[in-house]
């Protein structure tokens, strides 16, 4: 009977002692690695919460192809697997600690982690990171080929898979040495070359068709009203397109522009010039991007529209900033509700009806106010509203000196959602 138990399938008796010991050490290293990343690494700042599934400036710990943030209700089934998510968070924070300035690499690393999780589930039937080996890494690369429409994107994501493998080997998080695993998709230069027929074909596949480009121009030429909620989504899309044509930049850079971005001055020949004041990413400082003369009227039209449709949100941001400054000087004062045009005309301490609460918050569905607990007056409702503001408030980008109150693209929550009302009190 003892002999049968010793030879039973699943028994560890047939595993070499050295392998079992390596697995035990790797498991202990994994526990310590996660603890170290959670408790000792300080990157992401003092307000960072490890337990969040959506990390500001990094992304969501969601499964490949799933969303858990934005305007959608968070669905737990879309989160990374319970066996995998702590490992994913530890890898992400550890990598950010090695290079805190590289925001884009964190996003790519998340894509790589999603690929590895999917591969683990397919190959091993579980998402336990201790099961990562060459077979899992190869399957992750194959999934990238199938999932991403661009081979360049697939290549970059699988580079992240290689980085994960190297970190795991360097920290002995798995028994096997994965450090020499190679990206099977090929070199960056193969997909990134800029000249030749193949390069031209790749560029053309990324371009929208002529009808789409014509539609953007045609919509921009319409008499759109920046204060009409039905027009604001079109104003946003066409104005951003116009600005990028006038002064090409990265998508994040244009969205971090201040409201007073316009610069005018004389060049060395005495001619009037016009441009945008940028604070570039990638570690570069401030700069001015000059707009070609023929594009100046288009640029000014786009900015006038954007300023008009976002002014209300900046007014709210300035109101909140002023309140928080007063509170810092005098902690005992009571902060009062922002009196937007649809706010009920009652005292700050009067109990509100459900309809008045909905008016104050700018919502039409009763379920949108069901989570608010306690007596509902404008004063205590405002405390709840302040908690709903962006975590980084008042800063859009502290490094660039852009606050919500002076950001060109400061908007109300749901402002571009055609199916629901914009919030008049939440940014």
Percent of the chain residues topping a pLDDT of 90: 55
What's the mean pLDDT in 84-105? Answer: 81
* CA 17/CA 24 separation, integer angstroms: 11
| pLDDT the model gives residue 190 | 52
Residue 74 confidence class, pLDDT cut points 50, 70, 90: low
The token duo for 425 is 């009190």
| pLDDT the model gives residue 251 | 82
Among 283-287, 376-380, 389-393, the minimum mean pLDDT is found in: 283-287
Catalogue the E-assigned strands of 46-121. Answer: 54-55, 59-60
What's the mean pLDDT in 98-105? Answer: 61
HSE-CB for 31 with a 13 A CA cutoff: 5
* CA 162/CA 63 separation, integer angstroms: 19
* CA 229/CA 225 separation, integer angstroms: 8
Residue given tokens 């629901």 in the structure block: 420
Q: Tens digits of per-residue pLDDT, 193-208?
A: 566 777 777 777 777 7
Q: Which residue has the higher pLDDT, 183 or 2?
A: 183
- Cβ pair 154, 191 in contact under 8 A: no
Q: Which helix (H) or strand (E) holds 38?
A: helix 17-39
| pLDDT the model gives residue 364 | 78
- Written as one string, the DSSP assignment of 152-171 is HHHHHHHHHHHHHHHHHHHT
**pLDDT of residue 302 exceeding 70:** yes
* CA 235/CA 231 separation, integer angstroms: 6
8-state DSSP, 6: H
Q: Could you give the angle at which helices 151-170 and 134-147 cross, rounded to 10 degrees?
A: 160
* CA 222/CA 235 separation, integer angstroms: 10
| pLDDT the model gives residue 11 | 40
Q: How many residues does the chain have?
A: 427
Q: Which residue has the higher pLDDT, 402 or 15?
A: 402
| pLDDT the model gives residue 187 | 58
| pLDDT the model gives residue 243 | 96
117: nearest Cα among 154, 64, 184: 64
* CA 16/CA 19 separation, integer angstroms: 5
Q: Tens digits of per-residue pLDDT, 135-176?
A: 999 999 999 988 887 788 889 899 999 999 999 999 999 988
| pLDDT the model gives residue 370 | 66
- List, in order, residues 6 or more apart from 218 with CB less than 8 Å away: none
Residue 149, classified by CB atoms within 10 Å of its CB into exposed (0-12), middle (13-18) or buried (19+), is exposed
194: β partners: none
The token duo for 79 is 């989160």
- Cβ pair 202, 196 in contact under 8 A: no
The token duo for 256 is 């971090």
SS3 417: coil
| pLDDT the model gives residue 166 | 93
| pLDDT the model gives residue 252 | 84
What's the mean pLDDT in 417-427? Answer: 89
Count other C-beta atoms under 10 Å from residue 74's C-beta.
14
Q: Tens digits of per-residue pLDDT, 3-47?
A: 443 344 344 344 444 556 778 898 999 999 999 999 998 888 777
- List, in order, residues 6 or more apart from 121 with CB less than 8 Å away: 81, 127
């Amino acid at each position: 009977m003892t002999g049968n138990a010793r030879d039973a399938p699943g028994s560890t008796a047939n595993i070499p002692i050295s392998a079992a010991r390596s697995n035990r050490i790797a498991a202990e290293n994994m526990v310590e690695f996660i603890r170290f990343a959670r408790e000792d690494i300080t990157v992401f700042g003092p307000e960072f919460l490890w337990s969040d599934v959506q990390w500001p400036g990094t992304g969501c710990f969601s499964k490949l192809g799933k969303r858990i943030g934005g305007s959608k209700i968070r669905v737990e089934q879309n989160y990374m697997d319970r066996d995998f998510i702590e490992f994913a968070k530890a890898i992400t924070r550890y990598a950010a600690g090695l290079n805190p300035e590289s925001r884009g690499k964190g996003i790519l690393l998340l894509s790589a982690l999603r690929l590895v999780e999917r591969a683990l589930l397919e190959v091993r039937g579980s998402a336990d990171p201790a099961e990562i080996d060459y077979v899992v890494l190869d399957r992750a690369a194959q999934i990238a080929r199938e999932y991403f429409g661009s081979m360049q994107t697939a290549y970059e994501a699988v580079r992240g898979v290689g980085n994960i493998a190297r970190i795991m080997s360097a920290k002995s998080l798995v028994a096997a040495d994965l450090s020499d695993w190679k990206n099977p998709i090929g070199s960056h230069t193969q997909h990134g070359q800029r000249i030749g027929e193949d390069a031209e074909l790749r560029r053309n596949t990324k371009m929208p068709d002529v009808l789409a480009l014509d539609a953007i121009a045609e919509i921009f030429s319409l008499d759109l009203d920046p204060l009409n909620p039905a027009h604001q989504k079109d104003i946003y899309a066409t104005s951003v397109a116009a600005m990028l044509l006038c002064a090409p930049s990265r998508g994040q850079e244009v969205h971090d522009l201040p409201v007073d971005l316009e610069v005018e001055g004389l060049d060395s020949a005495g001619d009037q010039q016009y441009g945008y004041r940028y604070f570039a990413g990638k570690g570069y400082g401030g700069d001015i991007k000059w707009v070609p003369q023929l594009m100046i009227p288009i640029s000014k039209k786009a900015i006038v529209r954007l300023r008009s449709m976002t002014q209300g949100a900046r007014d709210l941001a300035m109101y909140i900033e002023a309140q928080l400054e007063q509170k810092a000087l005098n902690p005992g004062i009571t902060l009062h509700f922002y009196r937007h045009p649809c706010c009920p005309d009652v005292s700050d301490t009067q109990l509100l009806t459900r309809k008045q609460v909905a008016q104050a918050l700018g919502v039409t569905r009763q379920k949108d106010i069901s989570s608010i607990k306690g007596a509902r007056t404008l004063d205590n409702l405002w405390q709840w509203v302040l908690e709903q503001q962006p975590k980084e408030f008042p800063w859009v980008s502290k490094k660039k000196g852009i606050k919500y109150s002076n950001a060109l693209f400061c908007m109300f929550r749901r402002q571009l959602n055609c199916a629901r009302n914009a919030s008049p009190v939440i940014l």
